[in-house]
């Protein structure tokens, strides 16, 4: 499998430091920053570079403030563009 | 200019090249949610429930055809977050309000979003009869076994022995009755087309809960009748736990009494 | 030539609902007004796709009204005293959210389960607000089968004009009696545009929210100020009453609904005996006809308020009169209906004290 690299972008001012994303991340690459945001919450930051863009953190985030990016390595030719993964979760009902 | 720059660089481990660019975006906040910051306590399941409903509304392209009803409870401010036409209902009466809307606007998608006190205590009559009429709406039922907004009183779904501000020595069924499995109570009613119990305590369950909501809206489009999606959820503040602990409590204590899974699935779909 | 029929008050009201372009009726059986739901259940399927639904309780039906009205449709419910009491919370929400709708109370004897006989003991509840908070219903008081029909159209017009709940305060007798009624022609549905309604957030507009929740007190006060301003407008523009022989009146009777019918006879009895009686019949109980009563009170020797209760509207009469004339009250309760002679005897006792004998 081509090396998949992912990253996240967090709207840290809206994070409430609930830590649910920390336990949801299979790569254990998230933690709470020592710093606090305007509301006084320690916000979440990515502290390792092993993110695979699996979107678990974004799924469990009650504030809906995590954007997830995923880049499939160039070695393999382009297999599929994943425009918006939430799309292929649509299910056909017969 | 990638979107990631305004963070102090030393906060984020600098990757050789920047992943956070438009074409790599695989998950973003649905535009069917407003960008108003939610008032829910840190780690509360309401936020996730709101999001997956709005994601489904967004993906099905029915934002201009969906009307939500949120009654009194923590989610009374849902209309500040859901970017659709909404009505705020009196405590316990959301399914009656939703009935009124659906009957006069039969081609619109209508859902009510209710807590356990609202749906299974004061609103039990409305719940049972709305289901019994097979109203072609979706009822999303957030079961966190406590009255959240009024800060922690016992709810109809509070477990035996569970401590709340009105069962300070633990719920005693001899005095306060037994926890009510409302989903199982209404499932046998012929009007109930699809009844399921979901959760949002981990990524896997969030995916399943979203699928259940999606199915419900699809069934509503096909005029199949009343869909009932219960979401067993947490209440960190009133349970006096951290969000992570509260999700463990959901798993260890609530799931055994409120088992997840479909309670009533339409025959022809099976 | 308008259609003329001999109909029961309740059925005339039901037929008028269909003709007034009502979109949805939600109701619950309770004597003495179950005929409305029965009539609609029988007649609507033949000629209209108006929604007619029997709810599981009056609480459910008033909240269905909230939903349907909030969705921009003409919605109506009917009930009688105990059922109307169950609707009070809903009415407060509806008034606060400014939703147009029509609620009919076919008043019966109370309090409690009371009786099914006609009564007027719900006057305070209707006009002063039986629910919580400062709000007003526009209250119409029919005194004939004709008005049972006409007040439905008028009620919906007021409701839409002011985005306000309207109550028709009738009673068991007027609901059950049969009289000739001229029925207005069918009006089209969706006559009034309601851009504020929750019909689904079209792409070109912000979402519509129907709510009565304004957690910030200053916002809540703004809502209240807006409501009070509206009620002021209503008081200035929508007062309706009927008067009988008040040009040369010496003693004025004030009565509404069934009591007013009886008092017309009392006026006749008095006039035959050379006593110049007159009658003012409020048609709108809110807005109350203060001005006419005040002006007439300056030229009469006394006023007798007649009601089927312990004396409720009499307080509003006294407020209008403010001491300019003596205001007395005569009433029967529990559903007992006084005869004209009985009322006249009391009038003589109160005012004439053997003068005319």
Q: What stretch of H or E contains B206?
A: helix B203-221
Dihedral over alpha carbons A44, A49, A54, A58 (to 10 degrees): 10
Mutate to test the interface with C, among B104, B107, B123, B139 (most CBs of C within 10 A): B104
Q: What is the pLDDT of residues A16-75, one digit of tens each?
A: 999 999 999 999 999 999 999 999 999 999 999 999 999 999 999 999 999 999 998 765
User: Is a pLDDT exceeding 80 seen at residue B1?
Assistant: no
The beta-carbon neighbor of A33 closest among B11, B236, B242 is: B11
The owner of tokens 């009201």 is C13
- Give the model's pLDDT for residue C56: 98
A27 inside domain: yes
- Give the model's pLDDT for residue C2: 84
Per-residue confidence at B29, pLDDT binned at 50, 70, 90? very high
Residue of C nearest to B109 (CA): C200
Q: How far is A87 from chain B (nearest CA, A)?
A: 7
Q: What is the pLDDT of residues B200-216, one digit of tens each?
A: 999 999 999 999 999 99
Q: What stretch of H or E contains C222?
A: helix C217-237
Query: Could you tell me the strand order of the sheet in which C138-140 lies?
Result: C51-54, C24-27, C75-79, C101-107, C165-171, C138-140, C284-286
A89 inside domain: no
B231 in Cβ contact with B198 (< 8 Å): yes
Q: What stretch of H or E contains C218?
A: helix C217-237
Burial C155-178 (b: 16+ CB within 10 A, else e): bbbbbbbbbbbbbbbbbbbbbbbe
C293 in Cβ contact with C322 (< 8 Å): no
Contact between A84 and B244 using a beta-carbon 8 Å cutoff: no
- Give the model's pLDDT for residue B72: 95
Selection from C20, C59, C58 nearest residue C40 by Cα: C20
- Between CA B193 and CA A50 the distance in angstroms is 44
Q: Which chains touch A (3 or more CB pairs under 8 A)?
A: B
Which domain does A66 fall in, by range? Answer: 4-81
Mutate to test the interface with C, among B54, B85, B133, B191 (most CBs of C within 10 A): B85
The beta-carbon neighbor of C68 closest among B69, B100, B126 is: B100
Handedness of CA B94, B100, B103, B109 (dihedral sign): negative
Contact between C198 and B87 using a beta-carbon 8 Å cutoff: yes
A9 inside domain: yes
C70 in Cβ contact with C97 (< 8 Å): yes
Contact between C90 and B101 using a beta-carbon 8 Å cutoff: no
Q: For chain B, what is the mean pLDDT?
A: 93
Domain ranges of chain C: 3-237, 241-352
- Between CA C137 and CA C131 the distance in angstroms is 11
For chain C, the residue count is 357
Q: Enter the tokens of residue C344.
A: 């006249």
The beta-carbon neighbor of C64 closest among B66, B67, B96 is: B96
User: Is a pLDDT exceeding 80 seen at residue A87?
Assistant: no
Q: What is the pLDDT of residues B158-193, one digit of tens each?
A: 999 999 999 999 999 999 999 999 999 999 999 999
Q: How far is B30 from chain A (nearest CA, A)?
A: 9
Mutate to test the interface with B, among A64, A65, A66, A90 (most CBs of B within 10 A): A64
Distance from the Cα of residue B61 to its chain's centroid: 20
Q: Given the cut 0.85, state whether the ipTM is greater than it.
A: yes
Using the Cβ of A56 and the Cβ atoms of chain B, whether some distance falls under 8 Å is answered with: yes
- Between CA A43 and CA B11 the distance in angstroms is 11
- Between CA B119 and CA B128 the distance in angstroms is 9
CATH top-level class for C3-237? Answer: alpha beta
- Give the model's pLDDT for residue C353: 79
Domain ranges of chain B: 33-269
Neighbour count for residue C279 (Cβ, 10 Å): 23
User: Is a pLDDT exceeding 60 seen at residue A94?
Assistant: no
User: Is a pLDDT exceeding 90 seen at residue B7?
Assistant: no
B-chain residues near C51 (CB < 8 A)? 103-104
- Between CA C235 and CA C237 the distance in angstroms is 6
User: Is a pLDDT exceeding 50 seen at residue A90?
Assistant: no
- 3-state class (DSSP) for residue B59: helix
Q: Which fold has domain C241-352?
A: Rossmann fold (3.40.50)
A19 inside domain: yes
Mutate to test the interface with B, among C86, C199, C200 (most CBs of B within 10 A): C200
Largest CA-CA distance found in chain A, in angstroms, rounded: 51
CATH top-level class for B33-269? Answer: alpha beta
Q: How many domains does chain A have?
A: 1
Q: Where are the beta strands (DSSP E) in C30-177?
A: 51-54, 75-79, 101-107, 138-140, 165-171
- Between CA C39 and CA C74 the distance in angstroms is 18
Interchain contact A/C (3 or more Cβ pairs less than 8 Å) = no
Q: How far is B229 from chain C (nearest CA, A)?
A: 21
User: Is a pLDDT exceeding 80 seen at residue A88?
Assistant: no
Using the Cβ of B30 and the Cβ atoms of chain A, whether some distance falls under 8 Å is answered with: yes
Burial A79-88 (b: 16+ CB within 10 A, else e): eeebeebbee
User: Is a pLDDT exceeding 70 seen at residue B15?
Assistant: no
B53 in Cβ contact with A65 (< 8 Å): no
Residue of B nearest to A13 (CA): B37
pTM of the model: 0.93
- Low pLDDT (below 50) residues in chain C: 356-357
CATH number of the domain at A27, please.
3.30.70.20
Contact between B29 and A64 using a beta-carbon 8 Å cutoff: yes
Q: How far is C68 from chain B (nearest CA, A)?
A: 5
Per-residue confidence at B17, pLDDT binned at 50, 70, 90? confident
A63 inside domain: yes
- Give the model's pLDDT for residue B24: 93
A47 inside domain: yes
Q: Enter the tokens of residue A10.
A: 């967090």
Q: How far is B152 from chain C (nearest CA, A)?
A: 20
- Give the model's pLDDT for residue B269: 54
Contact between B244 and A23 using a beta-carbon 8 Å cutoff: yes
- Between CA C15 and CA B11 the distance in angstroms is 72
A61 inside domain: yes
Per-residue confidence at A3, pLDDT binned at 50, 70, 90? confident
Helices C88-96, C58-70: axis angle to 10 degrees equals 10
Burial B20-35 (b: 16+ CB within 10 A, else e): beeebbbbebbebbee
CA distances from B216 to B53, B91, B137, C322 (A): 11, 24, 8, 63
Q: Is A93 left (phi over 0), alpha (psi -120 to 50) or beta?
A: beta
């Amino acid at each position: 499998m081509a090396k998949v690299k992912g990253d996240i972008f967090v709207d840290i001012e809206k994070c409430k430091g609930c830590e649910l994303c920390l336990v949801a991340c299979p790569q254990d690459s998230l933690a709470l920053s020592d710093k606090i945001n305007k509301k006084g919450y320690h916000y979440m930051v990515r502290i390792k570079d092993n993110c695979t863009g699996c979107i678990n953190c974004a799924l469990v985030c009650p504030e809906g403030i995590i954007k997830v990016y995923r880049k499939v390595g160039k070695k393999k030719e382009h297999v599929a563009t994943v425009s918006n993964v939430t799309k292929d979760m649509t299910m056909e009902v017969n | 200019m990638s979107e990631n720059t305004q963070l102090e660089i030393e906060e984020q481990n600098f990757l050789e090249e920047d992943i956070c660019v438009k074409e790599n975006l695989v998950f973003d906040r649905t535009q069917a949610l407003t960008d108003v910051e939610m008032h829910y306590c840190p780690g509360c399941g309401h936020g996730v429930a709101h999001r997956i409903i709005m994601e489904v509304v967004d993906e099905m392209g029915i934002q201009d055809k969906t009307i939500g009803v949120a009654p009194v409870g923590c989610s009374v401010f849902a209309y500040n977050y859901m970017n659709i036409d909404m009505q705020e209902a009196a405590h316990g009466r959301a399914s009656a309000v939703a009935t009124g809307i659906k009957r006069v606007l039969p081609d619109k998608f209508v859902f009510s979003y209710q807590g356990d006190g609202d749906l299974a205590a004061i609103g039990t009559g409305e719940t049972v009869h709305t289901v019994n009429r097979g109203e072609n709406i979706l009822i999303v039922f957030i079961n966190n076994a406590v009255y959240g907004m009024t800060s922690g009183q016992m709810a109809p779904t509070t477990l035996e022995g569970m401590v709340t501000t009105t069962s300070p020595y633990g719920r005693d069924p001899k005095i306060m009755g037994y926890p009510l499995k409302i989903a199982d109570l209404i499932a046998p009613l012929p009007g109930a087309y699809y009844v399921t119990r979901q959760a949002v305590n981990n990524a896997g369950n969030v995916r399943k809960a979203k699928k259940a909501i999606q199915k419900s809206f699809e069934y509503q489009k096909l005029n199949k009748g009343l869909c009932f999606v219960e979401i067993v959820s947490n209440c960190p503040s009133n349970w006096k736990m951290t969000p992570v602990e509260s999700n463990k409590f959901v798993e260890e204590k609530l799931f055994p009494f409120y088992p997840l899974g479909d309670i009533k699935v339409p025959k022809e779909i099976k | 030539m308008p259609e003329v029929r001999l109909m029961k008050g309740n059925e005339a009201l039901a037929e008028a609902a269909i003709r007034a372009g009502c979109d949805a009726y939600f109701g619950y059986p309770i004597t003495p007004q179950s005929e409305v739901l029965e009539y609609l259940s029988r007649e609507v399927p033949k000629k209209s796709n108006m929604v007619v639904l029997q709810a599981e309780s009056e609480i459910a039906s008033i909240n269905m009204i909230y939903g349907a009205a909030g969705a921009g449709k003409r919605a109506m419910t009917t009930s009688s005293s105990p059922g109307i009491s169950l609707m009070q919370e809903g009415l407060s929400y509806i008034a606060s959210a400014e939703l147009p709708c029509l609620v009919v109370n076919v008043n019966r004897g109370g309090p409690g389960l009371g009786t099914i006989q006609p009564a007027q003991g719900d006057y305070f509840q209707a006009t002063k607000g039986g629910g919580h908070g400062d709000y007003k219903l526009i209250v119409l008081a029919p005194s004939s089968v004709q008005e049972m029909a006409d007040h439905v159209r008028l009620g919906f017009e007021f409701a839409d004009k002011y985005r306000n709940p309207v109550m028709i305060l009738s009673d068991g007798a007027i609901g059950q009696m049969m009289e000739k009624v001229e029925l207005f022609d069918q009006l089209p549905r969706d006559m009034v545009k309601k851009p504020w309604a929750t019909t689904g957030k079209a792409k070109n507009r912000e979402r519509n929210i129907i709510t009565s929740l304004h957690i910030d007190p200053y916002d809540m006060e703004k809502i209240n100020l807006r409501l009070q301003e509206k009620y002021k407008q209503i008081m200035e523009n929508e007062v309706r009453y009927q008067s009988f022989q008040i040009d040369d009146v010496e003693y004025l009777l004030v009565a509404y609904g069934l009591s007013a019918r009886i008092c017309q006879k009392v006026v006749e009895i008095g006039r035959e005996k050379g006593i110049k009686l007159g009658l003012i019949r409020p048609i709108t109980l809110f807005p109350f006809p203060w001005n006419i009563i005040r002006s007439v009170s300056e030229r009469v020797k006394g006023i007798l308020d007649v009601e089927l209760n312990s004396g409720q509207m009499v307080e509003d009469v006294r407020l209008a009169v403010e001491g300019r004339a003596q205001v007395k009250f005569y009433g029967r309760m529990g559903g007992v209906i006084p005869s004209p002679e009985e009322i006249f005897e009391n009038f003589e006792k109160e005012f004439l004290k053997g003068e005319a004998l």
